[in-house]
Amino acid sequence: MPVCTDSVELGLYTEPPYTLSREASEHPLILVCEHASRFIPPALNDLGLDFEAAREHIAWDIGALALAQRLSEILGVTLLAANYSRLLIDLNRPRHAPDSIPGQSEIYQVPGNQHLDEATREHRRQALFKPFHTRLQTLIDERVARGQAVRVVGIHSFTPIYYGQPRPLEAGVLFGEARQYAQRVIDGLSRHPLKVAGNQPYKIDPLGDMTVPVHGDARGLESVLIEVRNDLLRTPEAIERWAGYLAPLL
């Protein structure tokens, strides 16, 4: 389906929808960072959010891109990272999930996403969502066709305060079918003085998630999503520390 030509946002998405690094890597791992960026085209005025909200966790996963990039460097693996904010369209939600284009995120209203017409929603799907997932599918298809092993891992972060409640958890490993792989990562992280759990602070939902259920479980591939609390990812030293924890386990 071509990009919709009836949307008021036509022509705004001039930056590439994703950045692909180390495409030719022969390592089994493909890293995915769906919430890597907080970029919203200037014409959309941060979707009506105030300055602070548009730069906090509702717009992106703070520290996730830096962690994914460092893991990609250490391991020499492919990384597919989004170039636009998840508030425009969430790349880790099915296209028609209720929060695919959120009118509210946690306690924040997102005025620019309320009362969107279907033409604009479809334009975002075609301009941002479809290219990202088509590229990920192609990366996997090419490796499977060559007989290579494939693992898909999403790198995310979560806010330390959620609906006013503190979260003591420091990292979570989210999984569906890849229980053994997930447990290996959990066990490895647990050897450090870390508060780690499986399927926390969220759970994989086939109706509400994309990367693990669609690109991993549905294809019989090992796939997990790594969540690190974002206050632990705000300095270069912290990124290096978490990359050191995770690199040997993935």
Quote the tokens at residue 245.
């924890």
Q: pLDDT, tens digit, for every residue of 186-204?
A: 999 999 999 999 999 999 9
Residue 44, pLDDT > 70, answer yes
* Cβ count near 177 (within 10 Å): 17
Which burial class, exposed, middle or buried, applies to 194 when counting CB atoms under 10 A from its CB (0-12, 13-18, 19+)? middle
pTM of the model: 0.95
Write down the number of H helices and E strands in the chain.
Answer: 5, 11
> How far, in Å, CA of 170 to CA of 205, rounded?
21
Share of the chain above pLDDT 70, in %: 98
Give mean pLDDT, residues 57-75. Answer: 97
Give mean pLDDT, residues 114-128. Answer: 96
Q: pLDDT, tens digit, for every residue of 204-221?
A: 999 999 999 999 999 999
Residue 133, pLDDT > 70, answer yes
Give mean pLDDT, residues 89-110. Answer: 91
> How far, in Å, CA of 59 to CA of 234, rounded?
16
Quote the tokens at residue 33.
């960072």
Specify the 3-state DSSP secondary structure of 13: coil
Q: What angle do helix axes 179-190 and 236-246 make, rounded to 10 degrees? A: 130
Share of the chain above pLDDT 90, in %: 89
Per DSSP, what are the bridge partners of residue 78?
30
Q: pLDDT, tens digit, for every residue of 136-176?
A: 999 999 999 999 999 999 999 999 988 888 999 999 999 99
Question: Given this model, what pLDDT does residue 135 score?
Answer: 98
What pLDDT band is residue 4 in, cutting at 50, 70 and 90? low
**Strands, E assignment, the chain:** 18-21, 29-33, 78-82, 104-105, 108-109, 151-158, 161-162, 165-166, 171-175, 196-198, 222-229
Residue 2, pLDDT > 80, answer no
Give mean pLDDT, residues 107-117. Answer: 92
CATH superfamily of 18-249: Zn-dependent exopeptidases (3.40.630.40)
Residue 68, pLDDT > 60, answer yes
What pLDDT band is residue 5 in, cutting at 50, 70 and 90? low
Report the chain's mean pLDDT, rounded to a whole number: 95
Residues 6+ apart with CB under 8 A from 242: 67, 228, 232, 233
What pLDDT band is residue 1 in, cutting at 50, 70 and 90? very low
